[in-house]
A and B are shown apart, each in its own frame.
Chain A
Amino acid sequence: MSTVGTETIEGFSSSREIAQSARDRLRAGSVVVLLAALTAIPLVANDYWLNAVLIPFLIMSLTALGLNLLMGYAGQASLGSGGFMSVGAYATYNLLLRLPELPLPVSLLLGGVISGLVGVIAGLPSLRIKGFYLVASTLATQFLLEWLFNQYGWFSNYSTSSSISAPRLAFLGHDLSSPTGRYLLTLATVVVVTATAVRLVRSQTGRTWMAIRDMDTAASVIGVPVSAGKLKAFFVSSLVIGIAGALWAFAYLGTVDARSFNLDRSFQVMFAIIIGGMGSISGNFLGAAFMIFLPILLDHLGSGVFGGAIDPGQLENFQKALFGALIVWFLIKEPRGLAALLSRAWTQLVSRINR
């Protein structure tokens, strides 16, 4: 009797494992195809697409990934993303300016590390406070950093205007300042960071974060290092967001400007992960696509349909209202975001094909 029972269970689990590994292979395969497509894009896309659509999309995905590690995995909500982006941008700017002998990736990484350290300081209140009180305390970081970079000229090398042009991007003798170069730089960074993040959330660190997210009091009772976990989450998250901020300044805008890292940016990033899916890696890309593509789409629709018949201010108001309504609609429709929506649609499709 018992042998039969064991056999069925074994048979069951092994067939499940086969399905699992098949799904993993499928997933890995689609990632490879996607990567190849993304690398090949500069061959077909024009400069407008690279500059105005794909580069901001990739960088927004990276920023969303950074915040998602903190908020979706470790459960610490933050509205300081804009501030951390500016730290990364200004730190990288100063590294490129003052230590020009460092190769570009090293400057980017160091800029990220500096942002990460600032993140640890900003994360200290999380050891004491939770929930919306924590959100509000990250706002303190946001406003303090915004003020700091506007107030003290040292950060912007005493530039007279508040925006400063970025130094030339080059790596191993290759000039990266063309749209294609900046796109590939962004893509490479996003791929490396995302791959690292995937490994990280599946490691001990990731499990610690999720335990803290699900209930930090319970986690501390069973001996999960809560304080260290929270601070580590702030460090890694701000590091990623800092790198994204540097890319935003150098690969996208071409200038370092504190105003492009204001509170609106922080909200945008938070929207991206909530709409994309908290605690999901692919959700970051979906959410970023939503946040970047939708305004562009609305813009084109607006000017295409109404063609200057409505005054642009009104059109902007209309877009704002529509955008807000869409956000609410998405929140109501799918609590776990676009990632869950897509994976559900995918499962339905597969089961329909199999049937």
Chain B
Amino acid sequence: MSFFIETLVGGLLAGVMYSLVAIGFVLVFKASGVFNFAQGSMVLCAALTFVTMRDKGIDFWLAAPITLTVMVLIAIAVERVVLRPLVNRPQITLFMATLGVSFVIEGLAQIVMGASVHELDLGIVDTPIEIGGVQVSQFDLVAAGTAGILVVALSIFFNKTRVGIALRAIADDPQAALSIGIRLQTLWQIVWGVAGFVSLVAGLLWGARQGVQFALTLVVLKALPVLIIGGFTSITGAIVGGLIVGAGDSLAEIYLGSLLGGSVSTWFAYVLAVAFLLIRPAGLFGEAPIERI
């Protein structure tokens, strides 16, 4: 039984790491209706920029703002060059465009900063500690704490600040928001910038865990089922979805994997997500679109 609980807790904490990536998705989707596949390459780009500067001996507190600046510049460039000309196009076109953007970011980032695997040490000790008879990874706890702080900060940003409220207005009704003078394009830049910040946080934590390397872009594929379960438009959904996927994944790996004789983690989260979709077609917390004829 304690083994079960340990697997469950480990899975839940790993799920928080997925949520971190998923939150970046949700922000962009909510504000601009873009399914941003480039989120994974933004995570890679942020981690790579940061670790390159750390390797050159630049202090953490200097490297972080510089990386953030790079991410914001990318956000502005993406809005200017890609999103603005593509406004009012079908969503699938925008999705494909973000795939193109991800190729560009991945290619350029690796040209400038190299493709070798970098170690990233954030100074977090990764020794398991025991809480109530259950072994828990300290690193995972820090990651979960960070995610918690991030969610609180984002919800304050969205609910209390002027910019945040304007963003919610755009998410609710772009036409109405435009008509009362909200500047759509500036806000898109802001929201992509915030998504860049979230990918910096995700990039640091993921990079510290598995090294900064190209494989970081694959976290996107882990974040997708999280999004489906939670719904594309809800940050709460991203967290809950992450917990469900994380727990489901590690439990399935142990119990189902031994039954089927192999690693099931590549697809289990997706099958789980489809099962959720069949019951709730717009995710647990997503808004079901109303269709008018």
Q: Which residues of A contact B (CB under 8 A)?
A: 77, 125, 128-133, 135-137, 139-140, 143-144, 146-147, 150-151, 215, 217-218, 221, 263, 267, 270-271, 274, 313-314, 317-328, 331-332, 335
Contact = CB atoms under 8 A, between A and B. Distances in A.
A116 B232 CA distance: 30
6 contacts: A271-B99, A317-B107, A327-B96, A327-B100, A331-B86, A331-B96
Contacts of B91: 131-132
Given A139-B270, A143-B270, A151-B261, A321 B108 contact: yes
A132 B97 contact: no
A217 B92 contact: no
A323 B85 CA distance: 19
Nearest to A314: B111
Given A136-B273, A317-B115, A325 B281 contact: no
A136 B278 CA distance: 13
Interface stretch (B54-62, B182-190, B220-228): B220-228
Which of B107, B110, B263, B283: most chain A Cβ within 10 A? B107
A127 to B, nearest CB: 9
Given A144-B270, A147-B267, A318 B101 contact: no
Interface string B84-128: 011001111101110111111111101100010000000000000
Contacts of B283: 133
B270 A136 contact: yes
B82 interface: yes
A324 B107 contact: yes
B131 interface: no
A331 B291 CA distance: 27
B150 interface: no
Contacts of B97: 327-328, 331-332
A326 B101 CA distance: 10
Contact of B104 (A143, A147, A263, A325): A325
B277 interface: yes
A140 B277 CA distance: 12
Given A125-B278, A133-B283, A271-B96, A324 B271 contact: no
Given A77-B92, A137-B277, A151-B261, A217 B291 contact: yes
B260 interface: yes
B96 A270 contact: yes
Given A125-B277, A217-B291, A132 B35 contact: yes
B267 A320 contact: no
Nearest to B115: A313
B274 interface: yes
A328 B82 contact: yes
Given A215-B291, A320-B107, 18 more contacts: A125-B277, A133-B228, A136-B273, A137-B273, A137-B274, A215-B293, A217-B291, A321-B103, A321-B107, A321-B108, A324-B99, A324-B104, A326-B100, A327-B97, A327-B99, A328-B82, A331-B97, A335-B93
Nearest to A267: B99
Contacts of B260: 151
B161 interface: no
Interface string B240-276: 0000000000000000000011111011001101100
Contacts of B282: 133
Contacts of A270: 96
Contacts of A131: 91
Q: What are the 10 A-B residue pairs with the smallest beta carbon separation, nearest first?
A: A324-B103, A321-B107, A140-B270, A327-B100, A320-B107, A143-B267, A324-B104, A328-B100, A324-B100, A144-B267
Interface string B177-218: 000000000000000000000000000000000000000000
Contacts of B228: 133, 136-137
A287 B272 CA distance: 34
A267 B103 CA distance: 12
Contacts of A321: 103-104, 106-108, 111
A274 B90 CA distance: 11
Contact of A147 (B101, B221, B266): B266
A318 B104 CA distance: 9
B279 to A, nearest CB: 9
Contacts of A146: 266-267
Which of A129, A136, A151, A326: most chain B Cβ within 10 A? A136
Contacts of B264: 147
